[in-house]
Amino acid sequence: MTTTAASDNRTTGTTLVIGATGTTGSRTVARLTAAGHRVRAASRRATPVPGAEPVPFDWYDPATHAAALTGVDRVYLIPPVGSPDPATTMLPFLRRARDGGVRRAVLLSSSAIPEGGPAVGAVHRALPGLFGQWAVLRPSWFMQNFTGSHAHARSIRDEGVIRTAAANGRVGFVDAEDIAAVAVHALTDEQSPDTDLVLTGPEALSHDDIAAVLTEVTGRPVVHQHLSHRQLCDRLSAEIPAEFAAMLADMDRAIADGAEDRVTDTVQRLTGRPPRTFRALVERELSVR
């Protein structure tokens, strides 16, 4: 696929960004508006977003869906957080979006979930049959999990500990800024990807490697505590539904078995620049000034 600057292919309609205040959604809105695109920024509280039209949106409240979709011709989809069966909620909305004039849909999934797999994998499988133009972004784990509001980031700040059941498995952690850059191309390039796109950073790192970089750059000791699958399930189940906790623990076990030990050229191919390294992210967001 030929890489084309988003600003050279401005849409004549409006892009709906669901989850516009989230990790990738906020960055996608910022890039779209900076390139001159009209954006409707959807969030539960219709939080104001510079350059975009805020609109209330709740996956579980269909009464919010019509206003969000009015005049929209493409949509960036963040699935409902924590749902083990998002297809039940998302597919009726997507059919409504198609019938209302949405031509292109870009879905945020995960590198760990293939087409037809669990959770959002069912939405992935349905998307090509609903829209003539589509893409499924399948990023690896976010680098921001270690710097933002994720449980890993909180335990790093509070205790200097990362807890996983991933053992020594490596992951091609990816910067959310790179995910957003690819999302903008998938939404606005003249030719839609019409495929799934596995997104990684430039190197595969273990959680021990992550802890070492954090320690070196911030000057604060961080260690990786290796948990068993059962220990992680029990810890997560104290905060989230048991079924979702088990799915997350299974993902860690897959990492331990090597499922995420890969890097792809997708970010470079679609954006024209290499993906950012984890060290660069930590230096940008956490280094002591």
Listing DSSP states for 221-271 in one string gives: --EEEE--HHHHHHHHHTTS-HHHHHHHHHHHHHHHTTTT----SHHHHHH
Question: Exposed, middle or buried by CB within 10 Å (0-12, 13-18, 19+), for 230?
Answer: exposed
3-state class of 90 per DSSP?
helix
Instruction: Give pLDDT tens digits for 144-179.
Output: 999 988 899 999 999 999 999 999 999 999 999 999
Average pLDDT, the chain: 93
Residues 6+ positions from 210 with CB-CB distance below 8 Å: 146, 162, 173, 224, 278
Q: List the structure tokens of 11.
A: 């849409």
pLDDT value for 83: 85
pLDDT value for 197: 98
Q: Rounded mean pLDDT of 197-216?
A: 98
- Note if the pTM is more than 0.85: yes
Alpha carbons 31 and 51: distance in angstroms, whole number = 10
Instruction: Give pLDDT tens digits for 51-104.
Output: 999 999 999 999 999 999 999 999 999 999 878 899 999 999 999 999 999 999
Q: Is the pLDDT of residue 288 over 60?
A: no
pLDDT value for 1: 40
pLDDT value for 56: 98
- Inter-residue contact 170 to 201 (CB < 8 Å): no
